[in-house]
Amino acid sequence: MLTADVCVLAFGDLGGPAEHALDDDRLVSISGDAVRPAVPVVAPLGKRHTPHLLLAHSGPLPAKAVERARRVKGVAAVEVVDAAQTLVAGRRVGLLGVDPSTFRAFTPPASAASDQLWQAVAGGDLVVSFELGRSQGLTLGGTVPAGRSESPGQVRVGAYASLGISDVHAVVSRQRARELGLPDGNALIVSTRKTDPRTLSKKLRKVMPRGTKVAVLTAAQQRTPARQAPQVTGRPDGVRGRATPIAGNRMTPRMRAVVLEINNRFGPFPVIGCYRTGADAQDHALGKACDFMESTAGRMPSAQALRHGDQVAAYAISNATRLGIHYVIWKQHIWNVRGGGWRKMADRGSLTQNHFDHVHISVF
Look at the pTM and tell me if it is higher than 0.85: no
Report d(CA 322, CA 330) in Å as an integer: 20
Domain boundaries, the chain: 53-216, 246-363
Q: What is the average per-residue pLDDT within 126-140?
A: 92
The pLDDT score that the predictor gives to residue 2 is 34
The pLDDT score that the predictor gives to residue 8 is 23
User: What phi and psi, each to the nearest 5 degrees, are found at residue 142?
Assistant: -80, 170
Which of residues 122 and 150 earns the better pLDDT score? 122
Check whether 288 has a pLDDT greater than 80.
yes
Q: What's the angle, vertex CA 68, arms to CA 65 and CA 70, rounded to 5?
A: 115
| 235-279 confidence digits (pLDDT tens) | 899 988 888 999 999 999 999 999 999 998 888 999 999 999 988
Q: What is the average per-residue pLDDT within 164-178?
A: 93
Check whether 286 has a pLDDT greater than 80.
yes
Local structure of 236: helix, strand or coil: coil
Closest among 224, 218, 214 to 189, alpha carbons compared: 214
The pLDDT score that the predictor gives to residue 5 is 29
